[in-house]
Amino acid sequence: MKASHVKRAFRYRFYPTEAQAAELSRTFGCVRKVYNLALAARTEAWTRQERVNYNQTSAMLTAWKKTEGLAYLNEVSSVPLQQALRHLQTAFTNFFGKRAKYPRFKSRKKSRKSAEYTTSAFRYRDGRLTLAKMAGPLDIVWSRPLPEGAAPSSVTVSQDAAGRWFVSLLCEDPSVQPLPATDTAVGIDVGLDHLLTLSTGEKVSNPRHERRDRARLAAAQRRLARKAKGDGVNRAKARRKVAGIYARITDRRRDHLHKLTTRLVRENQTIVIEDLAVRNMVKNSSLARAISDAAWSEFRSMLEYKAEWFGRDVIAIDRWFPSSKLCSNCGTVADTMPLNVREWTCGCGTTHDRDVNAANNILAVGLTASVCGAGVRPQRRTPSGQPAMKQKTSRREP
């Protein structure tokens, strides 16, 4: 890890006054408008095979503010508007680098409501945060302290679909340092019956957060469906109720994954996982709900950035490696392995728990790839010539 401190975002909930809420809502709308205007201008230039950069869109913003129809852009802080243009520039950079799809326009109803303020647009002193264009500080619930002596380099204010307000402060955190090196390594097999199965034999149960609130969610969705589209206030209340249930599910899931990934990173020097194509797996309509609730992609993302923070290694093996069908004792690959088979006996006489065996194989292949300095080659065909596609789920939703 580099000697410089890691930058972390510390997120807190806050309760704005009516004036602050109105100012922030106005800012969100202006940020979305500027982003969409700049995207439209760049798209039009793209059709002419011309490229427009950030400096050109910044000059456009200055011109837009002088027009009668967009004069209201002057009523909010200019910093979040400039940051919106920078975010658009990043989106195009990722597109041209083939790391992302072409940027999309922001929807008033569906897009995330947020605005980013840099140091010139906020004041943070003695635990009090005041944003530009506001007379007083935000009423923030400081659920945990910022790092001692921390000075936020940027502040992002957002409102979720449930109507909750959050502020995220980006600070350097000196407490994030590499952990002492160990010789421990673990292989991880993800699933639905159990969220994780470790090569140590431990199985982590799947909390199934969405299923716990499914009845409440269905009832709230039915109430929303009965509201007439022209019934603004009542329909908005019903929509917030549905969003609140989704937010509760998301918060519980994220909290569980944070605790789980932190524990794995602290206990192991090397963590081996599978490079699963979750985006393709959720196309299975009968399993999409359960796979999404398991949040395998979010689990991997947390694992990787925490490993980088604390000096650990995460190795992803090829998704086509037949970890479930390979005997970890003798190396024989079974011809078939139906999903309902959870325990099987190899010809060598070894009886395997399907998931523990897979985790052991994942660990062995990952460590071999690490020593050789190369990745695992795709194994798309079994000895019989059939596709060796890895199946991680059962045909029924648990």
How far apart are alpha carbons 304 and 188 in whole angstroms?
A: 14
Reduced to 3 states (helix: H, G, I; strand: E, B; else coil), residue 382 is coil
| Spatial contact of 244 and 216, defined as CB atoms under 8 Å apart | no
How far apart are alpha carbons 340 and 358 in whole angstroms?
A: 15
| Spatial contact of 393 and 360, defined as CB atoms under 8 Å apart | no
| Spatial contact of 168 and 155, defined as CB atoms under 8 Å apart | yes
Instruction: Give me the catalytic one of 23, 189, 210, 293.
Output: 189
Residue 210 known to be catalytic = no
How far apart are alpha carbons 247 and 220 in whole angstroms?
A: 13
Instruction: Give me the catalytic one of 274, 275, 304, 353.
Output: 274
| Spatial contact of 71 and 30, defined as CB atoms under 8 Å apart | no
Reduced to 3 states (helix: H, G, I; strand: E, B; else coil), residue 166 is strand
How far apart are alpha carbons 379 and 324 in whole angstroms?
A: 13
Residues 6 or more apart in contact with residue 76 via CB below 8 angstroms: 23, 26, 27, 30, 133
Structure tokens at 40: 């439209």
How far apart are alpha carbons 290 and 311 in whole angstroms?
A: 32
Q: Which residues pair with 249 in a beta bridge?
A: none
Cα-Cα-Cα-Cα dihedral sign, residues 244, 246, 250, 252? positive
Placement of tokens 């009090």 in the chain? 128
How far apart are alpha carbons 312 and 307 in whole angstroms?
A: 4
Structure tokens at 42: 């760049």
| Spatial contact of 354 and 341, defined as CB atoms under 8 Å apart | yes
Residue 274 known to be catalytic = yes
CB atoms within 10 A of CB 71: 11
Alpha-carbon separation of residue 378 from 175, 320, 382 (angstroms): 40, 6, 11
How far apart are alpha carbons 335 and 352 in whole angstroms?
A: 16
Instruction: Give me the catalytic one of 23, 210, 293, 355.
Output: 355
Structure tokens at 286: 């009968």
How far apart are alpha carbons 168 and 331 in whole angstroms?
A: 50
Structure tokens at 119: 């140091």
Q: Which residues are catalytic?
A: 189, 274, 355
